[in-house]
Structure 1
Amino acid sequence: MSGHSKWANIQHRKSNQDFKKSKIFSKLIKEISTVVKESGINNYRLKNAILNARSVNIPKKTIEKAIKKALQIKTDDYKNLNLEGLIHGISIIIECMTNNSIRTTSSIRILFNKNGGRLCNNGELSHFFHRMGIFCIKKEDIPHSIEDFQLMTIDFGAQDVVIDRSMVYLHTNFEYLGVMKNNLEKLKIFHEYKIKRIPKQIKYLSEEKRIKVINFIDKLYMNEDVKNIYSNLDENKK
């Protein structure tokens, strides 16, 4: 029986991993489709979306099929939707991509209600977060010395420059996102960028409540319309 139990556990874990993988694939393919519908195929947004998809080994044929379908079908467009909610005093921002905002909002509201939280009005919690742009650039794509490039990007609005073995990460305040993006494109430096929300102040909870909030965030991610989630919870175990 122990062997059977071990096999069942392995199958269960594999099933969960496959489910999570399919969710990631679905979100990234949806992102590619939305970018194509909104901006066409000759833009950095699409290059970034394809780069994200390839980073998790989505097949090239699958990506090409998504682009072709998005070019042909103009109905059923997906739109960005941001929602805000509170649970155990923790502020949560949920970034979604959906073709039915009423459906998405309703399902997330129900999830908050079932777990002792509430969905808030837009703008009620967003001021608890800074919006930051993070640009990711391969060192090999920089046509200057790293030192010169650092000085140059400071003029473009970089607040911080982080360098590792192969990559350079530029952190900018949201208001300088367009300036940085435009200047990198003028220099023909291929880059990936993301917009992240950084909490202005971290909140601490008891271990019991901290785990409940983390589990709740995991439940939110199970919704296929959810792209990113930000909270001001201190997630580190004490």
Structure 2
Amino acid sequence: MAGHSKWANIQHRKGRQDEKRGKVWTRVIREIIVAARLGGGDLDVNPRLRLAIEKAKAANMPADTIKRNIDKATGNLEGVHYEEVRYEGYGIGGAAIIIDCMTDNRVRTVAEVRHIFSKYGGNLGTEGSVAFQFKHCGQLIFAPGTSEDKVMEVALEAGADDVITHDDGSIEVLTPPLEFEAIKAALTNVGLTPEVAEVTMRAENTVELTGDDAARQQKLLDMLEDLDDAQDVFHNAELN
């Protein structure tokens, strides 16, 4: 990503997420249910569930709500069956977009995704049409002014894949997905707290959009993120 706007894009994304706190519980509950169904309710052997519970606690979800949804997923309580489904497509200027959904009705969800792409200037693609442009990895991003030497020393010692310093001074640490928790803990234990910490689909290359194109792309992304079934939306557009 072009360094001059890396931090600005991150702050914008965080602002958008803060505006949508009302949907956070719904999304986290779905993630807890699917993680527990796939990997069981034992946190010691289910890293995906550990991450989901961490998100739930960050959103101030009560412990009994967390437990109840784990019980639903593992068969101790009756619950809705959600399945994961990924959609891929193109936005403004050919920007690549991935939408990860959890749904109890695939027909409804794909119709809604297709409608948004069509209405807001994008195109829904086929499976695999853009995913190759992204890397599944852990990502930790530190604010400009953080000690580059300290981040690099601790992260690489803990097993990070790469440490990237951007032109704007922000520092990005990339990790293998399964090592994300351990590397994050190593950094926070020495006082290095990331602004962004997630397992994500990171774009390998970006498409820079400005002016009206950037505004149109943002509108498309906003509408996709507002879908009830959408869990995450990843894209390779850099909006200026």
Both proteins in one fold, TM over 0.5: yes
Residues 85 and 100 of structure 2 are in contact (CA less than 8 Å); yes or no, is this contact kept in structure 1?
Answer: yes
Whole-Å separation in 2 of the counterparts to 1:183 and 1:196: 16
Residues 92 and 231 of structure 1 are in contact (CA less than 8 Å); yes or no, is this contact kept in structure 2?
Answer: yes
Residues 37 and 74 of structure 1 are in contact (CA less than 8 Å); yes or no, is this contact kept in structure 2?
Answer: no
Residues 73 and 79 of structure 2 are in contact (CA less than 8 Å); yes or no, is this contact kept in structure 1?
Answer: no
Whole-Å separation in 1 of the counterparts to 2:222 and 2:49: 28
Q: What is the RMSD of the two structures over their aligned residues, measured on CA atoms?
A: 3.5
How far residue 25 of structure 1 moved from its aligned partner, in angstroms, is 0.8
Residues 33 and 70 of structure 1 are in contact (CA less than 8 Å); yes or no, is this contact kept in structure 2?
Answer: yes
Residues 86 and 118 of structure 1 are in contact (CA less than 8 Å); yes or no, is this contact kept in structure 2?
Answer: yes
Q: Which of 65, 81, 94 does residue 68 from structure 2 map onto?
A: 65
- Between 123-132 and 25-34, the greater mean CA deviation after superposition: 123-132
SS in 2 for 1:204: strand
AA aligned opposite 2:225 = Y
How far residue 18 of structure 1 moved from its aligned partner, in angstroms, is 11
Paired residue total: 197
Corresponding residue for residue 224 of structure 1 = 228
Identity between Structure 1 and Structure 2 (%): 26
Corresponding residue for residue 114 of structure 1 = 119
Corresponding residue for residue 131 of structure 1 = 136
Corresponding residue for residue 54 of structure 1 = 57
Corresponding residue for residue 91 of structure 1 = 96
Unaligned runs of 5+ in 2: 1-16, 142-150, 166-171, 190-196
AA aligned opposite 2:131 = S
Residues 83 and 119 of structure 1 are in contact (CA less than 8 Å); yes or no, is this contact kept in structure 2?
Answer: yes
Alpha-carbon distance change, 21 to 233 in structure 1, aligned in 2, over 3 angstroms: same
SS in 1 for 2:231: strand
SS in 2 for 1:234: strand
Alpha-carbon distance change, 79 to 135 in structure 1, aligned in 2, over 3 angstroms: farther
Corresponding residue for residue 193 of structure 2 = none
AA aligned opposite 2:132 = H
AA aligned opposite 1:113 = S
Unaligned runs of 5+ in 1: 1-16, 137-145, 163-168
Corresponding residue for residue 38 of structure 1 = 38
Residues 160 and 173 of structure 2 are in contact (CA less than 8 Å); yes or no, is this contact kept in structure 1?
Answer: no
Corresponding residue for residue 7 of structure 1 = none
Corresponding residue for residue 212 of structure 1 = 216
Whole-Å separation in 2 of the counterparts to 1:221 and 1:182: 26
Any residues of structure 2 matched to 1:71-82 within 5 Å, and which? 71=74, 72-73=76-77, 76-82=80-86
TM-score (norm 2): 0.68
Whole-Å separation in 1 of the counterparts to 2:203 and 2:161: 19
Corresponding residue for residue 166 of structure 1 = none
Per-residue deviation, residues 139-169 of structure 1 (Å, max 9, x unmatched): xxxxxxx99854542xx4532389xxxxxx8
SS in 2 for 1:65: helix
How far residue 75 of structure 1 moved from its aligned partner, in angstroms, is 6.8
Whole-Å separation in 2 of the counterparts to 1:133 and 1:114: 33
Residues 33 and 66 of structure 1 are in contact (CA less than 8 Å); yes or no, is this contact kept in structure 2?
Answer: yes
Residues 138 and 180 of structure 2 are in contact (CA less than 8 Å); yes or no, is this contact kept in structure 1?
Answer: no
Whole-Å separation in 1 of the counterparts to 2:19 and 2:177: 34
Whole-Å separation in 2 of the counterparts to 1:39 and 1:122: 25
Whole-Å separation in 2 of the counterparts to 1:48 and 1:197: 16
SS in 2 for 1:134: strand
